[in-house]
Amino acid sequence: MRLFSKIVIATAFLAAAAYMPASAKNYMVPKAYMFGFVASFNDSIVYFTDIQEVDSVWLSSKKKMLAGRSNYAYQLRNYCSQALGQTNRTVVIISATKRKDVEKKLIKMKKLYTGKNTGKYDVRYISTPDFKFRPVNMDDSNSK
């Protein structure tokens, strides 16, 4: 349970950082790979999405991180509340421009919930036909 609370605190910190305005310009890459993780403080159910290839993804030029992470998290949070009836969930979006990098992160996260902790968490999966990330336009050239 201690590990779970550390992960949730870290995700809350990342979510807060996503809302801070960035001074760096964003740039678009042809595609990126991402998956989502959904958890709650109130129960032991956690969800993982499949790794998905998303076209026309924006990255921040300063740190080469996914721009608009909060928008992608909102898509998944909205799906969980409407389709699954799971409200007030913490959502984390993990992304990279190389599939291999995202696969490593997914394996590492799954080990936290299925390895030694088998039985502590109810791990569920959201397949791509059920939920698909939509590209988010983060072009800031129009805003002045």
Residues of the chain with pLDDT under 70: 1, 3-24, 140-144
Residues 76 and 7: their CA atoms lie apart, in Å, by 18
The residue count of the chain comes to: 144
Specify the pLDDT at position 64.
Answer: 83
Question: pTM (2 decimals)?
Answer: 0.76
What are the backbone angles phi and psi of residue 46, rounded to the nearest 5°?
A: -125, 150
41: CB partners within 8 A, 6+ apart? 8, 90
42 contacts 94 by C-beta, under 8 angstroms: no
CA–CA gap between residue 84 and residue 60 (Å, rounded)? 32
The percentage of residues in the chain with a pLDDT greater than 70, rounded to a whole number, is: 81
